[in-house]
């Protein structure tokens, strides 16, 4: 049986979310993309992370879904990587520039960049994820309009940028700027119960990691695969879309994409998965 604290809470979950069942936890398998690039899907947790080992969401998916991600010719997310590369090289905006005009070859410039986000942005005085960095470059350096949240081009370009760090260990530098206080704020959100179901992120992804919720096998909720290709949606899903979906599932009202609340959550949750290899574009159900 599941190990939930408090009969009241268990009652709410059982009536609200149907059957929970105990399960075996993550599978014992290795992710090797195209038989070449091995991705770290398990690693010793960083100091202070409340697990012995952090695990990728890939280890909780079915064999078929895992196989799709391991084969870049079959992974539907790779089409977005290709599209992202096109955007990188295309002139847009009043300044008549492309990303490549300033940064050159994306495969060279971007190597390792996406693995180190979110990053402190001094100009904005807050942490930036890749989506916000793209928009800053579009506005300030290209005189182009910023992308709207979850526009097709935003997802493709973000996917392309993150894919240039495939297999590199995810990490955030908490010593930059005011990152520490954003981390604190993100942690507070992570442990706050929300919505009619009165559940926090930790109730699902920490206490019930490895259990089933309906047909879904609960992972630790790590972010190393984002943007991720979701079979259910047949589309790329951004991280803030996923956060909003998880919060909506507790029947709580959910904060806007790129709001301070979700940026703080991104800093904190990224830190929890320190050392996992970047999988973008990962494939999930």
Residues of this chain that bind ligand HEC (CB under 6 A): 57, 60, 97, 99, 101-103, 113, 119, 133-134, 137-138, 141-142, 157, 161, 199, 201, 203-205, 213, 216, 218-219, 221-223, 225, 228, 242-243, 246-247, 249-250, 265, 269, 284
137: annotated active-site residue:
no
Q: How far is the CB of 135 from ligand HEC (least distance, A)?
A: 8
113 three-state secondary structure: coil
Report the distance separating Cα 207 and Cα 204, nearest Å.
6
Which residue lies nearest ligand HEC, judged by its C-beta? 57
Closer to ligand HEC at the Cβ: 68 or 218? 218
Cβ pair 217, 59 in contact under 8 A: no
Closer to ligand HEC at the Cβ: 79 or 206? 206
Q: How far is the CB of 13 from ligand HEC (least distance, A)?
A: 8
Catalytic annotation, pick one of 99, 137, 201, 246: 246
Strand duo 20-21 + 212-213: pairing: antiparallel
123: region left, alpha or beta (phi > 0 left; psi from -120 to 50 alpha): alpha
Closer to ligand HEC at the Cβ: 134 or 236? 134
Closer to ligand HEC at the Cβ: 221 or 277? 221
Say if residue 275 is exposed, middle or buried (CB neighbours under 10 Å; 0-12, 13-18, 19+).
middle
In sequence order, the 6+-apart residues with CB closer than 8 A to the CB of 48 are: none
**If we measure between CA atoms, which residue out of 135, 133, 129, 128 comes closest to residue 92?**
135
Q: How far is the CB of 177 from ligand HEC (least distance, A)?
A: 13
Q: How far is the CB of 36 from ligand HEC (least distance, A)?
A: 22
Report the distance separating Cα 88 and Cα 98, nearest Å.
6
Closer to ligand HEC at the Cβ: 4 or 265? 265
What is the DSSP annotation of 178-224? THHHHHHHHHHHHTS-BTTTTB-HHHHHTTTTTSEETTEEP-----T
Q: How far is the CB of 241 from ligand HEC (least distance, A)?
A: 10
Catalytically active residues, by annotation:
246
């Amino acid at each position: 049986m599941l190990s939930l604290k408090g009969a009241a809470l268990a009652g709410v979950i059982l009536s609200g979310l149907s059957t929970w069942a105990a399960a075996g936890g993550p599978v014992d398998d290795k992710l090797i993309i195209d038989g070449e690039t091995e991705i770290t899907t398990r690693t010793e947790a960083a100091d202070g992370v409340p697990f012995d080992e952090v695990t990728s969401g890939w280890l909780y998916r079915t064999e078929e879904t895992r196989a799709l991600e391991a084969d870049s010719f079959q992974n539907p997310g790779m089409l977005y990587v290709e599209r992202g590369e096109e955007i990188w090289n295309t002139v847009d905006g009043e300044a008549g520039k492309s990303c490549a005009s300033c940064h050159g070859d994306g495969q060279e410039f971007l190597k390792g960049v996406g693995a180190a986000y979110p990053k402190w942005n001094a100009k904005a005085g807050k942490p930036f994820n890749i989506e916000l960095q793209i928009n800053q470059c579009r506005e300030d350096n290209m005189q182009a309009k910023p992308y709207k949240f979850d526009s097709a081009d935003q997802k493709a370009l973000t996917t392309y940028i993150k894919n240039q760090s495939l297999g590199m260990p995810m990490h955030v530098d908490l010593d930059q700027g005011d990152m520490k206080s954003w981390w604190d704020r993100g942690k507070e959100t992570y442990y706050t119960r929300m919505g009619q179901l009165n559940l926090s992120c930790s109730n699902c992804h920490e206490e019930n990691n490895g259990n089933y919720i309906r047909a879904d096998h609960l992972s630790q909720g790590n972010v190393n695969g984002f943007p991720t290709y979701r079979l259910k949606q047949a589309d790329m899903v951004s991280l803030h879309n996923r956060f909003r979906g998880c919060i909506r599932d507790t029947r709580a009202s959910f904060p806007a994409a790129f709001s301070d609340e979700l940026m703080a959550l991104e800093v904190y949750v990224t830190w929890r998965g320190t050392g996992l290899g970047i999988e973008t574009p990962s494939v999930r159900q």
